[in-house]
Structure 1
Amino acid sequence: MLNLSIILEDSTRRYPNKDAFIYKDTHLNFLQLNSIANQIANGIKSLGIKKGDKIALSCLNIPYFPMVYYGILKAGATIVPLSVLLKKDEVTYYLKDSNAKAYFCFTGTTELPMVEEGYAGFKNTPTCEHFFVITEKLNDKSPIDKIKTLGMLMNNQSSKYSTTATSAEDTAIIIYTSGTTGKPKGAELTHSNLLQNAILSTGIASTQNEDNQLIVLPLFHIFAMTVLMNAGIYKGATSVLLPRFDAKEVLNLMQQHRISIFAGVPTMYWGLLNYQNDEFNLDTITTNLKTCISGGASLPVKILEDFESKYNIKILEGYGMSEGSPVVTFNHIDIGRKPGSIGTPVWGVEVKVVDENGNEVPIGEKGELIYRGHNVMKGYYKKPEDTAKTLKNGWLYSGDVAIKDEDGFFFIVDRTKDMIIRGGLNVYPREVEEIMMKHEYVSMVAVIGNTHEKFGEEIKACVVLKEGKSISEDELKAWTKENIASYKYPRIIEFMDSLPMSATGKILKKELKKSN
């Protein structure tokens, strides 16, 4: 038997009165969290939900997320975490595709009416039998007539529960990929996948019982879920929750709670780098910070260098995928790091760079990154054909173009699907972006391919300039041309106030392409 919720039960025995989560003025210790998760598990069981049934969860970074998350696990059910930004038709798709039997949805906010979209999606899914509103306070009334709340489900339920026996290879979570190609697919991750990835993540971040970590990455995303939440619960660390990234509030919480571990996506580091502040003591913040981690997308080297200079701390960059639970490679403190690299394989994972025939390419040559190990998903839920394309002889084909250097460090060149083919020549957007980021006036850039009658695709750069700086399109074009092969420089430059981003902070290149 192995159930991922064992990490909460173990830390409850060891640190019952220690804060597990802090949110605003709320302090939730391990014993309270475990007791509430037990009540939720008892409530789920009373619905007739059986081992292996799917339960969807939409919730911001607030204590209700881990409460329901571990409650579902204890009940032996499978969690289907959903983005908080989904609209009703998207909710319907995920509920139907995952065969969800129940759905827990937070009320949301004025700007983000989650329950309205969630309930509308639920009503269009006859196979999903139960809907529960997660209200601001457990005893709040339901905002929807005749619809029960999480508090009502928990009412009169025992705070004791004998966790349902699951096996290491049972599916614990179905995590949906972003759906950049076709409809999103649900990656089935096992209890073993997630437990081993959480344990090795504590080694990467040097997570200890006395650490305070800030979680602003969305918990519905596998990065925050594994590397921060599950890793923190496993070690008995304290997690401070923030539902939405705001540079000022991040710095405020870092200073207030003596944050020692922070993980973010590149746009968050960009936001912290560009925040002009006088009200915070950077010396205090940087003295407490021992680990900064970046993932989710490639971190431009210029941002990494400038952040490290300002905050006097090294950023450890890594690489992962939903299908890899998620961590595949990382820059390890004990092995060493290389700026711009995604590091070396994590414990128990083997990584190669191969050509189109699956043969390993020589050092320094481009190819597709593939990996195998304990982190690899079971497959895509109900999609055997897609699974067969991605999993071959135990190896997971990532779709990412990479190189391996002579020291065994891997570098992501770009996503296969983002590659631009201009006049028959391959152009990798990240390479162009890295060059343009070196210009003193450029703050952020995203390079995409525009359809072109003559060349097939033309290179376009969407550029955000630093505040108060100005440069013409021709000037920036000429500067870039001087610093990169002539076929790679952007022929089109569009200056923008900001770039569209996903709920996880990734730049949405497909939205930029739509607006062309």
Structure 2
Amino acid sequence: MHLKSPYPPVPPIPDTLNVHDFIFNTPTKTAPDYVSLVDVVSGDKLTRRQLEERVRDAATALGASVEEGGLGLSGDAGDIVAICSGNCMDFITLLHACLVVTTPFALVSSYSTHLELVHALRLTNATRVFVHPSILPRMLTAAQEVGLPEDRVYVLEGTTSEVGGRRKNLGELIEGVRTRGMERVPVRQATKDTLAYLVFSSGTTGLPKAVMISHGNMWFTLVSGDIVGAVDFEVTKVLPPPARQMSYATDSSLLQFVPPFPPVTLAVLPFYHTYGLQLFCIRCVINPVTYVVVPKWDPRVVLKAIPKFKINYVLLVPSIIHQLVESGMLDKADLSSVWGVATGAAFLPPKVEEKFTSIVKQVPRVQVGYGLSECTLSSMRSPVPGILGGKIPIRGSTGILLPGIEARVLRDDGSEADYNEPGELWLKGGNVALGYFRNEQATKETFVNGWLRTGDRFTVDENDNFFFVDRIKDTLKVSGAQVSPTEIEEVLRMHPAKLLSDVCVAGVSGGRTSDEKVPRAWVVLSAEAKRRGNVKEVLDEVEAWARKSLSKYKWLRGGIEVVDEIPKSPTGKVLRRQLQDRYEAELLARQARSKL
């Protein structure tokens, strides 16, 4: 099937634009000054105007010539600025400064190992690096390995003198511009295809690839959000305050009706990830909202911050929601100020959502979306009830297509699937990335004639609601039939006695042929299961439930293993490969011992 968004269309992307101008200088987006950013630890604040001043001075420090006292950076000269840090306010300053001088920035995970840092620096050809002090030793070693001069590595925020000598941070570069009275560099011209930044894919199929996002991609995503906000507003403006969910609106005239003004949001997801970058680093300027910046996920810090700063809206990933639900922390937390919760980046099981909303009762639903790095941010979102002729959110659905997006759901043979029939999701729109940086083969395989192959299987119902099924690469074929690990995980979570607090299913060796995989489950026992004491009896009960609830070819022929935790990336994606590789290594070791 071939579907188009039910929203009004997005205007054509201008051929010439610098997205910085759209973000900071569009008249309808210039609200009265307000506190834009707050540091959760120090309490330091920046208003929107202070942030803009800081961005322009940082841009001057980066873009002015060396003779004038700047770094002389230019995208035309091949410069790329790598940013490797936990969340902080100057992370946002730096990336907006890069947009001003059209010098691409590359977002590098602050959790990167030495190998991953070397890969990131080599792939991006970064010419400057801004890093958190805690990461500096690793970064200096990686920089030396790739031949990046040590004096090209700067501290983003904070100071350090223990490793590599005293280094200037971004704040000191900005202060230098102000002290010398340097003339600000102008906003440089860009086109819709000018590279804005590189963001790394999750790397679930090998080393991470660098996704190229353009100024045009960013503009399209923001304008698409404007359209959603305007449509939402027509419904939400008549609702009482507790029922008003924050929309995508970037027009301050729409958000003035949302109490309190400005609303307060927790910026806790990593800024180096697409989700955190777009929602916290870009929209912190364009939305009249106060963002409380949290360096990294810590449930104790977050649950204390919510009542302290009177947080209204919380953006999370499914793994965090799951952790909060299972930990029991929510029962004791003061969440009275929260009136909206949204999630993305991974699949949120409906049962987890139900449990969350049963605890946080003033939040009737978790707003769900679907996107990936290759489409800038989102391509779908659960609708606000009543929009577009009466659409309603459906629990378990990733929502409807956002403005300007087209979708196809294709069978394995390339033909179009019917309603409620699973197939691979292909997407098309102005948010689809330019491709992968310095990787022509992967670009050709994923970006096909203007369409993005997502690698995810979906179904669509008759009302054009989308439902995630699983990752195609995770899908197993057992006796010729397709088996979805996600489906098995959902069934195991539904055990009436709630014996499992977390679960992961993946394929392992053990099929009828050398290349056939069979399902295996790794499970984290719940408090109830631990209370029973006899682990074997618990696992027998779990397996019996699976056999009762699933067709025979979906049974857990690979076994069930108890683990302390399911490995996940910082953005909540389950790292199935780690569990599979460990199991296969143990299997080979057992086979080798048996031959002795």
The verdict on a shared fold, with TM-score over 0.5 as the criterion, is yes
Q: Does 1:144 align with 2:211?
A: no
Equivalent of 1:86 in 101, 112, 123: 112
The residue that corresponds to 1:111 in the other structure is none
- Tell which structure's C-alpha radius of gyration is larger: 2
The residue that corresponds to 2:523 in the other structure is 463
The residue that corresponds to 1:369 in the other structure is 425
Task: Output the amino acid matched with 1:154.
Answer: I
The residue that corresponds to 1:264 in the other structure is 316
The residue that corresponds to 2:504 in the other structure is 446
User: Mean alpha-carbon deviation: is it higher for 337-346 or for 85-94?
Assistant: 85-94
8 Å CA contact 2:201–2:210 kept in 1: the answer is yes
Distance, in Å, in 2 between the alignment partners of 1:30 and 1:278 is: 32
Q: How many residue pairs get matched?
A: 507
Equivalent of 1:273 in 309, 325, 329: 325
Distance, in Å, in 2 between the alignment partners of 1:269 and 1:64 is: 28
Q: CA shift at 1:8, angstroms?
A: 5.3
Q: CA shift at 1:181, angstroms?
A: 1.2
**Aligned residue runs from structure 1 range 166-177, under 5 A:** 166-177=190-201
TM-score under structure 1 normalisation?
Answer: 0.92
Distance, in Å, in 2 between the alignment partners of 1:262 and 1:307 is: 13
Over 3 Å counting, the alpha-carbon distance change for 1:405 and 1:278 in structure 2 is closer
Q: CA shift at 1:462, angstroms?
A: 0.8
Task: Output the amino acid matched with 1:383.
Answer: N
Distance, in Å, in 2 between the alignment partners of 1:418 and 1:278 is: 32
8 Å CA contact 1:193–1:377 kept in 2: the answer is yes
Q: Does 1:512 align with 2:579?
A: yes
Q: CA shift at 1:468, angstroms?
A: 4.2
Over 3 Å counting, the alpha-carbon distance change for 1:128 and 1:16 in structure 2 is farther
Equivalent of 1:488 in 554, 562, 577: 554
User: Mean alpha-carbon deviation: is it higher for 71-80 or for 141-150?
Assistant: 141-150
The residue that corresponds to 2:9 in the other structure is none
Which of structures 1 and 2 has the larger relative contact order (alpha carbons within 8 angstroms, sep 6+)?
2
* Structure with more of its chain in strand, by fraction: 1
Q: CA shift at 1:281, angstroms?
A: 5.5
Q: Does 1:31 align with 2:46?
A: no
The residue that corresponds to 2:446 in the other structure is 390
Any idea what the Cα deviations from partners look like across 1:53-107, whole Å, max 9, x if unmatched? Answer: 3111011111121011112111210010000011222212111211211111111
The residue that corresponds to 2:141 in the other structure is 120
Q: Secondary structure at the match of 1:408?
A: coil
8 Å CA contact 1:199–1:234 kept in 2: the answer is no
Distance, in Å, in 2 between the alignment partners of 1:10 and 1:18 is: 18
Any idea what the Cα deviations from partners look like across 1:456-506, whole Å, max 9, x if unmatched? Answer: 212111111222424522211011111111211223111122111212122
Any idea what the Cα deviations from partners look like across 1:239-274, whole Å, max 9, x if unmatched? Answer: 111122222322222222222221111111112212
Distance, in Å, in 2 between the alignment partners of 1:466 and 1:199 is: 44
Task: Output the amino acid matched with 1:319.
Answer: Y
Any idea what the Cα deviations from partners look like across 1:373-409, whole Å, max 9, x if unmatched? Answer: 1110111112222111111221111111111111111
The residue that corresponds to 2:73 in the other structure is 49
Over 3 Å counting, the alpha-carbon distance change for 1:156 and 1:514 in structure 2 is same
8 Å CA contact 1:102–1:129 kept in 2: the answer is no
Distance, in Å, in 2 between the alignment partners of 1:273 and 1:116 is: 37
Distance, in Å, in 2 between the alignment partners of 1:278 and 1:171 is: 42
Q: Flag structure 2 segments of 5+ consecutive residues without an equivalent.
A: 1-15, 64-69, 230-245, 249-254, 256-260, 531-536, 584-596
TM-score under structure 2 normalisation?
Answer: 0.80
Over 3 Å counting, the alpha-carbon distance change for 1:476 and 1:250 in structure 2 is same
* Structure with more of its chain in helix, by fraction: 2
**Aligned residue runs from structure 1 range 292-303, under 5 A:** 292-303=341-352
The residue that corresponds to 1:214 in the other structure is 266
Over 3 Å counting, the alpha-carbon distance change for 1:463 and 1:419 in structure 2 is same
Q: Secondary structure at the match of 2:417?
A: coil
Q: CA shift at 1:157, angstroms?
A: 0.8
Q: CA shift at 1:28, angstroms?
A: 1.7
Any idea what the Cα deviations from partners look like across 1:20-48, whole Å, max 9, x if unmatched? Answer: 34332111222222222222212212222
Q: CA shift at 1:149, angstroms?
A: 3.4
Task: Output the amino acid matched with 1:322.
Answer: S
Task: Output the amino acid matched with 2:462.
Answer: E
8 Å CA contact 1:101–1:130 kept in 2: the answer is no
Q: Flag structure 1 segments of 5+ consecutive residues without an equivalent.
A: 109-113
8 Å CA contact 1:103–1:130 kept in 2: the answer is no
